[in-house]
Chains A and B, each alone.
Chain A
Amino acid sequence: MNNQHMIEVDGLRKAFGDLEVLKGIDLVVDRGDIISVIGPSGSGKSTLLRSLIHLEKAEHGTILIEGAPILEERGNKLTHISETEIRKRCKKLGMVFQGFNLYPHKTALENIIEAPTVVAKVPKAEAIKNGEELLQKVGLSDKRDTYPCFLSGGQKQRVAIARALAMNPDILLFDEPTSALDPELIGEVLQVIKELAAEHMTMIIVTHEMTFAKEVSDRVIFMDEGKILEEAHPDKLFNDPDHPRIKTFLDKML
């Protein structure tokens, strides 16, 4: 099944109470795609990302992860999919959060090997070896036994990326990975993401870093008020967007 999409989203709708945050999202992600999602705050970017990995349960629509549904609507009703099954299917995805969410009681290496040893049941020695390689990849070998509280924001986020990579996800989701960082620390995190891009890691990145989005992604999605306003190649979207709303937004950002 070589033509299978990595992620397929169809008619995704999600509301928090009366507030409809996603108003019908269609999205296709293929292997190696690097997609940036931009748009004003409250446009539903994060909710879309969180719905893909089932941190939010949407009310309508279909989400297929490598062909397997984690949300499926048939005849206006959601089909029941068990939590265990959803969790299994979501293992294809990894996620990096704005607030890092590292385990404070575990060292950098322990953070990375936790899920491989506990969830994937990888032997500890092997997990440590992989973990050390990942730390090297994000340039933090010397922080192996350091607790997160002694790391800078940029270092924390790099450990968090290594932790997500340790589970060998097919797709990585980034939810504003640099928004909580001091400006001078943003570069080191973006650098790591760029390196992943060079390895053709499939990624969806919600970001406010326009220059980065332009540089790294094959496709940019502009979201506004719960809808995808435009989806295009960065050259097109940043230089000649179809929608005046996007132009106004970009003028403010750049």
Chain B
Amino acid sequence: MNIEYLVQSTGYILQGCSVTIKLFFLTLLFSMPLGFLGAMAKTSRVKTLHIIMEFYTSIVRGTPLLLQIFFVYYGLPLIIPGLRFDRFNAAALTFILNYGAYFTEIFRGGIQSIEKGQYEASKVLGMSYQQTMLRIILPQTIKRVLPPVANESITLVKDTALVVVLGIGDILRNSKEIVARDFTISPFVIAALIYLLMNYVVVIFFKNLEKRYAVYE
């Protein structure tokens, strides 16, 4: 095994990075606001919203992500003819809905962990519900949910590898191709190192963020 071979394999595997990274950011970009809305719905006073959100989070969190990917890509077109996504879009949609459910629960827990006294103080100072949420409750919630959100983000980096099942050329798929072609496991090691590196960046990012929020408490 020579250096040139390793460089070549790494190059090919890295090409899969773009899919992985794109899926990662796309998922976070949409699932976080989705989770935010979900949490607002779950903490609102409208009972119907609670029921809808409860249905959503229990279905999504109670079934395997892999099954959900199959369902969106293979199942949906059978149920609703014409509703067909290309492979990447199907994967992205599934990830967004899946992570949205987890973020809903994380944000809900964060919002509900804020002491009742914060609402009461805001109320007697004359603040509206919106002002209280935006200026008092949510900023404190962000600090509290950072550790679980970091956890989810790390999991997401690794979960992206599931798109292999739809034959999307991500990091894992590209390394698998080389493994199958050359009968060597070094591509898997390279892939593992790339995932590790990506998660290292994620961890550093959240550590810094947590440090910034550590000025109080």
Residues of A that sit less than 8 Å from B by CB = 53-55, 87, 90-91, 93-95, 97, 99-105, 114-115, 118-120, 147-149, 163-164, 167
Contact = CB atoms under 8 A, between A and B. Distances in A.
Contacts of B128: 87
Contacts of A95: 124
B143 interface: yes
B118 A101 contact: yes
A99 B117 CA distance: 8
A36 to B, nearest CB: 20
28 contacts: A55-B124, A87-B123, A87-B128, A90-B124, A91-B126, A95-B124, A97-B120, A99-B117, A100-B117, A101-B115, A101-B117, A101-B118, A101-B121, A102-B121, A103-B121, A103-B136, A104-B140, A114-B125, A114-B135, A115-B126, A118-B127, A118-B131, A118-B135, A119-B125, A148-B216, A149-B216, A163-B125, A164-B124
Contacts of A114: 125, 135
A25 B136 CA distance: 34
A95 B122 CA distance: 10
B125 A149 contact: no
Nearest to A100: B117
B139 interface: yes
Contacts, number: 60
Contacts of A164: 124-125
A147 to B, nearest CB: 4
B189 interface: no
A103 B118 contact: yes
Contacts of B124: 53, 55, 90, 93-95, 164
Among A54, A90, A115, A120, the one with the most B-chain Cβ atoms within 10 Å of its Cβ is A115
B182 interface: no
Interface residues of B, number: 20
Given A115-B126, A119-B125, A120-B126, 20 more contacts: A54-B123, A55-B120, A87-B126, A90-B126, A93-B124, A95-B124, A97-B121, A101-B115, A103-B140, A104-B217, A105-B140, A105-B143, A114-B135, A119-B126, A119-B127, A119-B131, A148-B216, A149-B217, A163-B125, A164-B124
A164 B131 CA distance: 17
Contacts of A147: 215-217
B141 to A, nearest CB: 10
Contacts of B126: 87, 90-91, 115, 119-120, 167
B190 to A, nearest CB: 43
Interface in B104-155: 115, 117-118, 120-121, 123-128, 131, 135-136, 139-140, 143
A100 B118 CA distance: 9
B123 to A, nearest CB: 7
A55 B139 CA distance: 23
Nearest to B217: A149
A191 B32 CA distance: 48
Q: Which 10 A-B pairs have the closest CB atoms?
A: A101-B117, A115-B125, A101-B121, A147-B216, A95-B124, A119-B126, A149-B217, A91-B126, A105-B139, A104-B216
Among A93, A97, A101, A114, the one with the most B-chain Cβ atoms within 10 Å of its Cβ is A101
Contacts of A87: 123, 126, 128
A26 to B, nearest CB: 23
A55 B118 CA distance: 12
A163 B136 CA distance: 15
Nearest to B139: A105
